[in-house]
Amino acid sequence: MDKKSTDYEISRRSFLSYVTAAMGAFAATVIAVPLVGAFVSPALKKRVPGIWMSLGPVNSFRKGDPKMVGLTVIKQDGWVEARQPRLVWVVTEDNNKFRIYNAQCTHLGCIVDWHPEKKAWMSPCHAGVFAFEDGQVLSGPPPRPLDSLEYKIEKGELVINFQDFHLGTPDKKPI
């Protein structure tokens, strides 16, 4: 039989080098895909505003008596986990309807205190005063009312969507 000039024969050495290169490329791909995913996935995650968390049973809040509740917000930034203490004020008139406020003054972020004798929340810095009924600014430099928070009742528990908002601005924009 005559060999044509268009036939191509691969030597054993060439064949083994191709197979070795293909296996190396496959192994590199198997290793690279998860590594790239680990670095890229935090940037692609959809950011959901707020964090839903329980404040306890609805019957733990007394009618007409504001109660300060402490909570810990866990913020995840890539691989870094930060625990941040936060405070909210909870007011109820019937243990069915609630008003929940982020306890930070909307001016500079000082924690507002409840003053029952004045029926108002007062900021210790710059004398900001907020109304009991709706958190509206009564006096001082705060640019907007206290930041109210969304809530729901699940299985007898008061659950809130906690958010921090930009301070010192008239618009309530989540951070």
pLDDT in tens, 118-147: 999 999 988 899 999 999 999 999 999 999
Taking residues 44-66, what's their average pLDDT? Answer: 84
Is the residue at 5 inside a domain?
no
Q: Which residue has the higher pLDDT, 38 or 47?
A: 38
For 30, phi and psi rounded to 5 degrees?
Answer: -60, -35
**Does residue 20 lie within any of the structural domains?**
no
Across the range 52-80, mean pLDDT stands at 90
Residue 170 pLDDT level (bands cut at 50, 70, 90): very high
- Residue 80: the pLDDT is 87
What does the pLDDT average to over 57-86? 90
Residue 63 lies in a domain: yes
Residue 70 lies in a domain: yes
Segments forming the whole domain that contains residue 126: 51-162
Whether residue 45 is contained in a domain is answered as no
pLDDT of 51 reads 85
Residue 75 in this model has a pLDDT that exceeds 90: no
| Each residue's pLDDT tens digit, 84-127 | 999 999 999 888 899 999 999 999 999 999 999 999 999 998 88
Question: What's the structural domain count of the chain?
Answer: 1
- Residue 173 counted as domain residue: no
Residue 75 lies in a domain: yes
Q: Is residue 28 part of a domain?
A: no
Q: 71-75, 76-80, 124-128, 159-163: which has the minimum mean pLDDT?
A: 76-80
The CATH number covering residue 79 comes to: 2.102.10.10
